[in-house]
Amino acid sequence: MSLPRRPSVVAESLAQLGSAGLFLFGILAAIPRSLRHFQETVRQVWFVGAMSLVIVMTCGLFVGMVLSLQLYYTLSIFGGTAALGTVVALSLFRELGPVVTALLFAGRAGTSVTAEIGLMRATDQLSAMEMMAVDPMAYVVAPRFIAGILAMPLLVCVFNALGILGAHLVGVSWLGLDNGTFWGNMTASVDVWKDVVNGVVKSTVFGAVIALIATFQGYTTPPTSEGVAYATTRTVVSSSIVVLALDFVMTAFLM
Amino acid sequence: MTTTRDVSATTPAASAVEVRGLRTVLNGKVIFDGIDLDIARGRVTAIMGPSGTGKTTLLRHVTGQLAPDAGSVRVDGENVPTLSRAKLFALREKIGYLFQNSALLTDFTVFENVAFPLRQHLRLPEELVRTIVLTRLQAVGLRGAAHLMPAELSGGMARRVALARAIVRDPSLMIYDEPFVGLDPIALNQVLKLIRTLNDTLGITSILVAHEFAAVRRVADHVYLIAGGKVAAQGHPDELAERDSPWTRQFFGGEADGPVPFQYPARDYATDLGFPEARR
């Protein structure tokens, strides 16, 4: 007896991509109905946003500190330590802030959203909602998707602020760079629209993508403990790859 | 306990649910092979049968959770598989469904679980919501557990909370999937009374999937015995218990030998154990 042929990895990936696309349309169609559950959206912004603050703030601070340390050493070779504030700020606003926060967000909030929805699927809670004529796309999925879009830019702003604070602590307080030089060069070189807003746009897109991947993986997970575990892992892996790939594409367009 | 005991066959006009030529194939296995069923309006109808025979699948067809491969499933005259999502949700607002595993929302308290359908569909004053929820919890004996989380409940208690939630909006069709599992004798007696009282006082229709024939006999007006993808027998529970057919004799007598195999299809036992010579 011959075993049935398994679909190739490419075919499976394309099928997943197509399903995720349809799922996105489902979410967009459910968003107007989800406005009825505004409290749920607020709760989710708190859950994925505020609850991620500690890890984002801590990482932001340390990323800023190590960035300052490395750049100070490199810049000092060329006698350009005065540019420390500028380089740190541009690195954070343009790249590190959105990308590192997105990776942290996928690990902290994305996984919990996938696991939560996956367990709701496994324990028939989503089916129970459907039987009570409550659309899970509007009540469960759309609020988490909106929360991801709203929370990510805010978290990136916090990450950037803490990063600059960390860079200031190392560059000015520890290594002795002049405070006025640090802030003056930074404010003179950073463009609000070109640097700050572009970073916020990136982070909004990353938030949407991570929220889509997390909700999709949770919603479509096989209703088993192994299925939920795999879905959670896939959320982190897929989100990380897509964020980094999208970052390249968006940087190319936004520069 | 007031019971409606009418063993006469139901006419389609009197049916709340009408199933015709239902055929379902899941993972290559034929679950239903063209079965016909009528669930009489205002009665308690029990669906019984061996494990894995498709009782829950039948309920999923009735509620539009699963589309059949062929045939029609009409609820209140509407062909469920052809309904749009909006119409299906409108139909489900009239249906109360008790899940086999309770399916309580784990982030909500018992009170919030029961209040959930009210809050989602009706704009009622909070005081009224509280009154309705507490009356339903009182009916299942869990008013004092209103503040507990689902994780703090036993299986039987969770089932009773799920029952309270299912009846909170006074549905016209109540569907109970294994309502007696995990209930102690006191709770079982109360749930049986509740099912019967709800049915008779509110004039609703009830579909009951259960294995406990003694309990079914006390509450049901009509029983369908499903086996092998067909309706093996139907009738009043008392009549079925006394009917001398291989199906009823085996199922209600709990015998391993009969038309329903106890063993899931498998290779020869001796061969499986590695003793092929035992067959010679």
CA B249: distance to chain centroid? Answer: 23
Please check whether residue A200 lies inside any domain of the structure. yes
User: Looking at residue A128, what is its pLDDT?
Assistant: 93
- Structural domain count of chain A: 1
Out of A124, A133, A134, the one facing B99 most closely (by C-beta) is A124
**pTM for the full model?**
0.84
* Mutation site for B-interface testing, chosen from A39, A113, A124, A125 by largest number of B Cβ within 10 Å: A125
Out of A123, A127, A133, the one facing B93 most closely (by C-beta) is A133
Please check whether residue A223 lies inside any domain of the structure. yes
pLDDT band at B11 (very low <50, low <70, confident <90, very high): very low
pLDDT band at B276 (very low <50, low <70, confident <90, very high): low
Q: Which residue has tokens 């997943």? A: A16
**In terms of CA atoms, which chain A residue is nearest residue B116?**
A132
Domain boundaries, chain B: 14-94+171-279
Cβ separation A124–B120 shorter than 8 A = no
* pLDDT per position as a tens digit, B215-271: 888 899 999 988 888 888 888 988 887 877 777 777 777 777 777 777 777 888 888
On chain A, the residues whose CB falls within 8 A of the CB of B116 are 132, 134
Handedness of CA A91, A97, A103, A108 (dihedral sign): positive
CA B270: distance to chain centroid? Answer: 39
Out of B92, B105, B106, the one facing A133 most closely (by C-beta) is B92
Q: How far is CA B57 from CA A73, A94, B15, in A?
A: 69, 54, 20
Gap between the Cα atoms of A32 and A71, Å rounded: 47
Gap between the Cα atoms of B114 and A30, Å rounded: 24
Low-confidence ranges of chain A (pLDDT < 50): 1
Gap between the Cα atoms of B168 and A37, Å rounded: 21
On chain B, the residues whose CB falls within 8 A of the CB of A129 are 105
Q: Which amino acid is at B168?
A: V
User: Looking at residue A5, what is its pLDDT?
Assistant: 66
Cβ separation B120–A132 shorter than 8 A = yes
* pLDDT per position as a tens digit, B100-113: 888 999 999 999 99
User: Looking at residue A183, what is its pLDDT?
Assistant: 92
Please check whether residue A50 lies inside any domain of the structure. yes
Which residue spans within chain A are E strands per DSSP?
A: none
* pLDDT per position as a tens digit, B112-141: 999 999 998 888 999 999 999 999 999 888
CA B154: distance to chain centroid? Answer: 21
Q: How far is CA B194 from CA A253, B38, B157, B241, in A?
A: 66, 23, 15, 24
Determine contact: B220 vs chain A, CB below 8 A.
no
Strands of B29-40's sheet in order across: B29-40, B15-26, B70-75, B78-79
Q: How many C-alpha atoms does A170 have within 13 Å on its Cβ side? A: 22
On chain B, the residues whose CB falls within 8 A of the CB of A124 are 99, 101, 103
User: Looking at residue A206, what is its pLDDT?
Assistant: 96
Please check whether residue A127 lies inside any domain of the structure. yes
Q: How far is CA B64 from CA A133, B72, B165, in A?
A: 11, 11, 20
User: Residue A89 is part of which domain span?
Assistant: 37-254
* Mutation site for A-interface testing, chosen from B98, B106, B119 by largest number of A Cβ within 10 Å: B106
Fold assignment, B14-94+171-279: Rossmann fold (3.40.50)
Cβ separation A125–B121 shorter than 8 A = no
Cβ separation B103–A134 shorter than 8 A = no
CA A44: distance to chain centroid? Answer: 15
Please check whether residue A134 lies inside any domain of the structure. yes
pLDDT band at B77 (very low <50, low <70, confident <90, very high): confident
User: Looking at residue A207, what is its pLDDT?
Assistant: 96
Closest approach of A205 to chain B, Cα-based (Å): 30
Q: Quick check: B93 pLDDT over 60? A: yes
- Nearest partner of A20 among A184, A231, A223, judged by Cα: A231
* Mutation site for A-interface testing, chosen from B92, B170, B175, B177 by largest number of A Cβ within 10 Å: B92
* Mutation site for A-interface testing, chosen from B62, B100, B116, B175 by largest number of A Cβ within 10 Å: B116
Please check whether residue A16 lies inside any domain of the structure. no
B 75-94 residues inside an 8 A Cβ radius of A: 89-90, 92-93
% of chain B beyond a pLDDT of 90: 39
What proportions of chain B, in percent to the nearest 5, are helix, strand and coil? 40, 20, 35
* Angle at the Cα of B74 from the Cα atoms of B73 and B76, rounded to 5 degrees: 155
A74 CB-near residues (< 8 Å, 6+ apart) = none
Cβ separation A125–B97 shorter than 8 A = no
Please check whether residue A222 lies inside any domain of the structure. yes
Please check whether residue A30 lies inside any domain of the structure. no
**In terms of CA atoms, which chain B residue is nearest residue A119?**
B106
Cβ separation B101–A125 shorter than 8 A = no
- Structure tokens belonging to residue A201: 């746009």
Determine contact: B114 vs chain A, CB below 8 A.
no
Task: Name the average pLDDT for chain B.
Answer: 85
